Amino acid sequence: MSLKSKLSHKSTRFTESVIRGMTQLCLQHNAINLSQGTPAYQPPPEVKAAAIEAIQEGYNQYSITWGAPEFREAIAHKMTTFNGIQTDAVKNVTVTCGSTEGMLSALLAIINPGDEVIIFEPFYENYGPDTIISGAKPKYVALQETPTKDQGTTLTYDPDELNSAFSPNTKAIILNTPNNPLGKVFTQNEIQHIADLCCEYDSIAVTDEIYEHMIYDGKPHISIGCLPQMKERTITVSGLSKTYSMTGWRLGYVVAPETLTNAIRKMHDFLTVGAPHPLQRAGVVALNLPQSYYQDLIEKYDKNRKLLVDTLTKAGFRCDPPEGAYYIMTDISEFGFPDDTTFAHWLVKEIGVGGVPGSSFYSNTNLGKTKFRFMFSMADDILLEAGERLMKIKSKI
């Protein structure tokens, strides 16, 4: 008997995470890991103290499945004031085990076999498997460089291509802004266009806004759910992992209209039961940090962004500064490698720096074979050391 014959068809339609695979390769070769989006920083001291205090005070059993009331209240306040989405803690908020589980719970709650989901590519690698697991048919729309009047480039999509992607079968569109891996921040006009199409085709916008506090050069973060016509057709997914440097705490949340929330909560309940109770208590403290915390966060990451863009450019990569998040997508054509995966393994073993092959972010992997992603959520000394190593690439090719 072949055990492979016992596998589900779904499990054979996608691979293990390339990003986390690169992290393992970095560990094996003692390389600087600029692959996985794990912040090099610690949560604020008062937030860590609140988690410890919650454990000591006995918050060690299940909370309410869809989230501790005080944490949902803090999320609702944040969504109302920062995102501009009027949110009721009882009717609209589900606390999940990270935004990753939140996205899957949301799709499982709305997808039926044969439904189509539109995804902008390049995309965060989970979206493809999420659509397969939920039973949807993905349709991809490319984000591409477009020349600007000042002889630069901007990242956008072809409106006609997006128009053509929508159909009566379109149940949802996944919108990730700021985008991973490009760092693109969707504009007001783009978001309005997407909203108009959602209304025309009676579709739902499922948004991933985990990097909403990491936007540079004064660009605004716009939640599509704040548009009046999208109030009843938006599911907003986010979390605390990136903003507060606590990826290991697994605190995510989903905000949606009440009917959708009820379905999302059922999926969440049977997937994970609930997020860690004492950490939710500390999450309340995190969401009540002063505005200065977010200003300092942007300044810190903006400094890292400029440092790594400058370093990569000098080392021979082609790249533009990202508008948001903490990743830089580069072009590696100048180095002459046959593909991005070959380059990735060579870079770890010979240079001692890890990144992510660009092909892992595309449905058609050929589109990413000259692309390569780095992250810059690192301490200054680590980024400088990575830069010194990267400068040796040309001498070793």
Give residue-wise pLDDT tens across range 150-170.
656 688 999 999 999 999 999
Residue 331's DSSP bridge partners are 318, 371
* Lowest pLDDT segment from 18-27, 70-79, 270-279, 295-304: 18-27
Residue 67 has a CB neighbour count (10 Å cut-off) of 26
Structure tokens at 164: 């053509």
Q: b/e per residue, 313-352, with b = 16+ CB within 10 A?
A: eebbbebbebbbbbbbbbebeebebebbbebbbebbeebb
Q: Where are the domains of the chain?
A: 3-43+292-396, 61-287
CATH architecture group of domain 61-287: 3-Layer(aba) Sandwich (3.40)
What is the pLDDT at residue 142?
A: 95
What is the pLDDT at residue 375?
A: 96
Summarize the confidence of residues 275-288 as an average pLDDT: 98
pLDDT interval class at 149 (50, 70, 90):
low
Please state, rounded to an integer, the average pLDDT across all residues of the chain.
95
pLDDT, tens digit, 9 for 90 and up, residues 122-144: 999 899 999 999 999 999 999 98
pLDDT, tens digit, 9 for 90 and up, residues 175-233: 999 999 999 999 999 999 999 999 999 999 999 999 999 999 999 999 999 999 999 99
Superfamily per CATH, domain 3-43+292-396: Aspartate Aminotransferase, domain 1 (3.90.1150.10)
Asked if residue 329 lies in contact with residue 183, where contact means CB atoms within 8 angstroms, the answer is yes
What is the pLDDT at residue 152?
A: 62
Question: Measuring CA to CA, which residue among 178, 388, 383 is closest to residue 300?
Answer: 383
Whole-number Å distance between alpha carbons of 117 and 138: 5
How large is the angle between the packed helices 127-134 and 98-110, nearest 10 degrees? 40
What is the pLDDT at residue 15?
A: 81
Summarize the confidence of residues 74-89 as an average pLDDT: 98
CA angle 37, 42, 46 (to 5 degrees): 140
CA angle 357, 32, 122 (to 5 degrees): 25
pLDDT interval class at 13 (50, 70, 90):
confident
Residue 161 has a CB neighbour count (10 Å cut-off) of 12
pLDDT, tens digit, 9 for 90 and up, residues 222-242: 999 999 999 999 999 999 999
What is the pLDDT at residue 198?
A: 98
Element (H, E) at 331: strand 327-331
What is the pLDDT at residue 40?
A: 87
What's this model's pTM, rounded to 2 decimal places?
A: 0.95
